[in-house]
Structure 1
Amino acid sequence: MGATGGVASTLNQNLDQSPWPRVCEKFKNEFGQHAFTTWLGQLGFNGIDGGTAELTAPTKFVRDWIQRHYAPRLKDFFSGEDPRVKALTIRLATRDAQANGTPAPMPAAAATDPADTGIGARTSESSALDPKYTFDSFVVGKSNELAYAAAKRISEAGEVVFNPLFLHGGVGLGKTHLMHAIAWEVRRSTPEKRVVYISAEKFMFEFIAALRFKDTHAFKQKFRSVDLLMVDDVQFIANKESTQEEFFHTFNALVDNRCQVVITADRSPTDLEGIQERIISRLGWGLVADIHPTDYELRLGILQSKAEQSRNVIVPAEVLEFLARRITSNVRELEGALNRVMAYATLVGRPITMDVTRDVLQDLIRANDRKLTIDEIQRAVADYFNLRLAEMLSERRARNIARPRQIAMYLSKQLTSRSLPEIGRRFGGRDHTTVMHAVRKVEDLRRDDSQMDDDITRLSRMLEG
């Protein structure tokens, strides 16, 4: 069958009435979504000519694989939909064919899911993207400005500027939001790019499935042939040696081909436990950006932005300020609190007031009112610096003991409402002037010693989180 002539009369059939969407559904039902996305999702359907269903493949590799593994069943599926079909042919998609007048093929992914909200079903498969998670809806503050700027740069750059971008921070601070924002921006600006966004957990499950069904070639084809790979929560593959091995080789292949990689985790690369040293080393190759816990100003800005998006409910400024002061755990919980208040007001038809807010959120407010104790601070600092608690509370003045003691005093002053004399008593009966000296000393050290500042920031996060 040629590319011109009699082909046009049969290939110009109305694709809306074609059997292709139903063939795709049958394929997915029998072989699964993964096989569909990896293989059939890359094909185009040209039409039926003289009893032969014609498909096009983007590469010889894809064409040969489908012919070896799926062609007989595909022919059966077509015959079941259209009894005229007695044969199946898979051709390579070439520019020459298009120039000669062959109609554009109907893509499998577009035929079966035209409303897809992932990254362009024609170029890749991604976990579902949230349309609310864009750069426009991300509120920037001091705690996340570096991560935001780096993500924006990657989404707009025509070439790789730093590889990988590693974003880390606690739960609900905006890592996933930035990943989705990158994906949406790339889809908008360069839709021809092949992008995959996936959680580390799903990466592992797909790899296990590929091993089980002896289909690792397809797995490698999927993840090593993209322009941008984004893996969320990489700490999930800790102690998963086989998955880490595959992740390592995938990472190297993409970086060697100057393809962009973006990774997120709940901690920095050097703090990841159960991850191979060679992976940790490579994760630190590019730019590592920390997303710190939000401060009051950023929390208030996030709430104001969200309240402005709601046209049906008026949220008084004092309520927003109250929530920003009292809900400090993470952004997700903060936004959830505001959603609960607005939903209550809408459903019962009452205006939002401070009394309504306190009633609706009493459980959440109680949880965030948990009081941090000096004992907890002492234990956390002792563990962090690998000391016995008794050593830190002793009279010993060796620097490796005295410095953690001063840090614990400083944190007790910053994170509790206890007085200086009470803090001193809890540290072996010391005078309040000793606590004052410790606080001033640590403040000076934080200004002059970046490592000390990092240690105290990390300890504060651990205690408050």
Structure 2
Amino acid sequence: MPSEQQPDRVALERNWDEIRSGLRRAVGVRVFDQWIRPLRLGTFCALSGTLDLEAPSEFSASYVSSNFASRLSLAWRAAALDVRDVRVVRASGAAESVTIAPVIAAPHAPEMRPRETGGRAPRFEPRHDFASFMTDESNVLACSAAKAMAGVVTPRFNPLFLHGPTGFGKTHLLHAIARAYGEGQGRDTAEGTILYMSAERFMNEFVAAIRVNDTFAFKARLRAARMLLIDDIQFIAGKGPTQEEFLHTLNDLIDSGARIAITADRPPQQLGAVDPRILSRLSGGLVADIQPASLDLRLKILAARREAVAPISVPDDVVTLLARSIRTSIRELEGAFNKLVAYAQLVDKAITVDLAQSMLAEALRASNRRITIDEIQKVCAAHYRIDASEMRSHRRARAVARPRQVAMYLAKKLTPRSLPEIGRVFGGRDHSTVIHAVRTIEAMRLDNPDMDADIRALQKQLEG
């Protein structure tokens, strides 16, 4: 693990004073005094370029990271070129921490990203452990597989490939694997060596190594790991030389007995422009998906967050509103909860349904807009036990045509897409075909109780 260093504390303190002065003008005195003033300059790791800012509590660290990440990152980049990453940590030490986005972030990266590090288990997010990962049928397989990957006993599969929508816990599980594996193997032994990085960072470091003619050191560092964790592997698509190096890394580590866990937003078979040899390797272990969280799971997650902010009162009807309205991402759900609690504290107001609807209006509207046709197709295909590709096929068999009509009907009912747009997604069909499907299903709902029950069940599933 790289050691924490303080190369020029005086310069960092001076930079921090200037940055705070700028933020005070930008965000206003009241907001500044509430959230920025309590931050203290922490340690700086010269090797990774990571600077810690210490907050008085986990909640404060989470709120600052969620709301001021871009401002802090850009300010530090302008003030100190050596600072590449900024973290907000709880002042009591490394017990709780939240990572701000890297100063130079890819366009696709969300504002809060995990720390990318070659360190061992203690450098991973302490709050991202198996105990805090809540499960139901949507993610229990992925969680069980992650626990097996982290266990003392060598798992029967390798690599582990986790896939699912953004914000539903894939990165959480990677960090949990790292922490549990590190604790089981022992921090002070070579067996505890764990390497985490995003696919983007893998590419950047490999390209940098080529430029300085030092690929040997890059390869040696990767191949020394006893556990390799790669996040968002879909971004390696189309990068020929990087894919070749990644394939060699996979082969060498698997052959040496190292454990590998990888995440993506889709299953291996749907990773376009990825070398078939890589896809074969990824599919050769265990592939586990994480589905969107059910309403019960969202309620359970919010109940835990409410307990964490006690004695602040968050009524049941507010929790239910958030759980029913924000379905697109657990990260967005928790972010909305944190924003509501922080605002209520800041303006000294009681948390009510009216306040939640006012404060989170845009988030609630956005979530309600985000049911996609692709999701509808998959849910309908699973319900009627056909392959999802049949939704786009031109087969007219009744066993395929009726589920396709149901999916078209739901696409018209639950998305803002036009009839021609819906038709194109269903295999390039004409808008008149969609109209016929909608009218057919509407008529069947009136005369056929089973069809009406199907539609109600599918709509409830899609709406969470």
Q: Is the 8 A contact 2:376 2:407 kept in 1?
A: no
SS of the residue corresponding to residue 33 of structure 1 reads: coil
Distance 1:240 1:441, change over 3 A: farther
Moved more, 364-373 or 432-441: 432-441
**How far did 1:406 drift?**
2.8
Contact 1:143–1:295 (CA under 8 A) maintained in structure 2: yes
The answer as to whether partners of 1:130 and 1:180 remain within 8 angstroms in 2 is yes
* 1:365 shift after superposition: 1.2
Once residues 326 and 195 of structure 1 are traced to their aligned partners in structure 2, the CA distance between those partners, rounded to angstroms, is 38
Pick the structure with greater CA Rg: 1
Q: Within 5 A, what are the aligned runs for 1:63-462?
A: 124=119, 129-189=124-184, 190-191=186-187, 192=189, 193-370=192-369, 384-385=389-390, 387=392, 398-399=396-397, 403-410=400-407, 412-413=409-410, 416=413, 426-427=436-437, 429-430=439-440, 432=442, 434=444
Q: Is the 8 A contact 1:126 1:196 kept in 2?
A: no
2:437 partner letter: F
Deviations 1:313-364 (A, max 9, x none): 1111111111111111110110011011100111111111111111111111
Q: Once the 2 structures are TM-superposed, how far is the Cα of residue 408 of structure 1 from its aligned partner?
A: 3.4
Unaligned 5+ segments in structure 2 are: 10-45, 50-92, 100-113, 382-387, 416-432
**Equivalent-residue separation in structure 2 for 1:424 and 1:141 (angstroms):** 35
Q: Distance in 1 between matches of 2:225 and 2:370?
A: 48
Q: 1:269 to 1:347 in 2, by over 3 A?
A: same
1:56-100 per-residue CA deviation (whole Å, 9 max, x = no partner) reads xxxxxxxxxxxxxxxxxxxxxxxxxxxxxxxxxxxxxxxxxxxxx
> Are residues 156 and 413 of structure 1, via their aligned partners in 2, closer, same or farther at CA, if it must alter by over 3 Å?
same
Please, what TM-score do these two structures have when normalized by structure 2?
0.62
Question: What is the aligned partner in structure 1 of residue 425 from structure 2?
Answer: none
Secondary structure in structure 2 of the residue aligned to 1:263: strand
Question: C-alpha distance in 1, partners of 2:5/2:321?
Answer: 53
Q: Is the 8 A contact 1:194 1:227 kept in 2?
A: yes
* Distance in 1 between residues matched to 2:325 and 2:333, nearest whole Å: 9
Deviation of 1:160 (Å): 3.8
Q: Secondary structure at the match of 1:430?
A: helix
Amino acid at match of 1:326: S
Mapped partners of 1:122, 1:173: distance in 2 = 22
Q: Distance in 2 between matches of 1:442 and 1:412?
A: 12
In structure 2, distance between residues paired with 1:161 and 1:244: 26
Distance 2:392 2:117 in 1: 56
Alignment partner of 1:130: what SS? coil
Equivalent position SS for 2:369: coil
Tell me how far apart the structure 2 counterparts of residues 414 and 229 of structure 1 sit (CA, whole Å).
40
Asked if the contact 1:374/1:412 (under 8 Å) is kept, the reply is: no
For residues 370 and 7 of structure 2, the distance between their equivalents in structure 1, rounded to whole angstroms, comes to 61
**Aligned-partner Cα distance in 1 for 2:139–2:375:** 28
Partner amino acid for 1:149?
Answer: S
**Residue type at the aligned position of 1:430:** T
- For 1:179 and 1:354, the matched residues in 2 are separated by 35
How far apart, in 1, do the equivalents of 2:271 and 2:452 lie? Answer: 27
Q: Given the two structures, how large is their TM-score scaled by the length of structure 1?
A: 0.62
Distance change in 2, residues 1:374/1:138 (3 Å): closer
Aligned residue type for 1:427 = A
Structure 1 unaligned blocks of 5 or more: 1-19, 26-31, 36-113, 392-396, 445-455
Asked if 2 retains the 8 angstrom alpha-carbon contact of 1:406 and 1:442, the reply is no
Indicate the residue corresponding to 1:108 in structure 2.
Answer: none
SS at match of 2:440: coil
Q: Is the CA contact 2:408–2:434 (under 8 Å) kept in the aligned structure 1?
A: no
Give the Cα–Cα distance (whole angstroms) in 2 for the partners of residues 311 and 271 of structure 1. Answer: 44
Post-superposition shift, 1:246? Answer: 0.4
Whether the 8 Å contact between 1:327 and 1:368 is mirrored in structure 2 is yes
Query: 2 CA distance for matches of 1:316 and 1:140?
Result: 23
**Secondary structure at 1:261's aligned position in 2?**
strand
CA offset digits 1:437-461 (Å, max 9, x no partner): 99958999xxxxxxxxxxx99xx98
SS of corresponding position for 1:427: helix
Structure 2 residue aligned with 1:98: none
User: What CA distance in whole angstroms lies between the structure 1 residues aligned with 2:412 and 2:241?
Assistant: 43
SS at match of 2:366: helix
Whole-Å Cα distance in 2 between the matches of residues 340 and 298 of structure 1? 20
Number of aligned residue pairs: 334
The 2-side partners of 1:432 and 1:357 are apart by 35
Q: Percent identity?
A: 39
Give the drift of 1:152.
1.3
Superimposed CA distance per residue, residues 12-35 of structure 1 (whole angstroms, 9 cap, x where no aligned partner)? xxxxxxxx978999xxxxxx8379
Deviations along 1:137-188, whole A, 9 cap, x unmatched?
A: 1111110101111111221233243100110001001000000111122232
- The separation in 2 between residues aligned to 1:360 and 1:332, in whole angstroms, is 17
How far the C-alpha of 1:282 sits from its partner, in A, is 0.6
Provide the rounded CA distance (Å) in 1 between the counterparts of 2:319 and 2:177: 29
SS at match of 1:245: helix
- After superposition, what is the alpha-carbon deviation per residue over 1:261-294, rounded to whole angstroms, capped at 9, x for unaligned? 1010000111111111111011011111100001
The match for 2:47 is 33
Alignment-mate amino acid for residue 295 of structure 2: Y
Q: What secondary structure sits across from 2:167 in the alignment? A: coil
Structure 1 residues 255 and 381, CA gap change in structure 2 (3 angstroms): same
Paired letter, 2:289? D
| 1:439–1:279 CA distance, 2 compared to 1 (3 A) | farther
**Contact 2:163-2:288 at 8 Å conserved across structures:** yes
CA separation of 1:417/1:265 partners in 2, compared to 1, >3 Å: closer, same or farther? Answer: closer
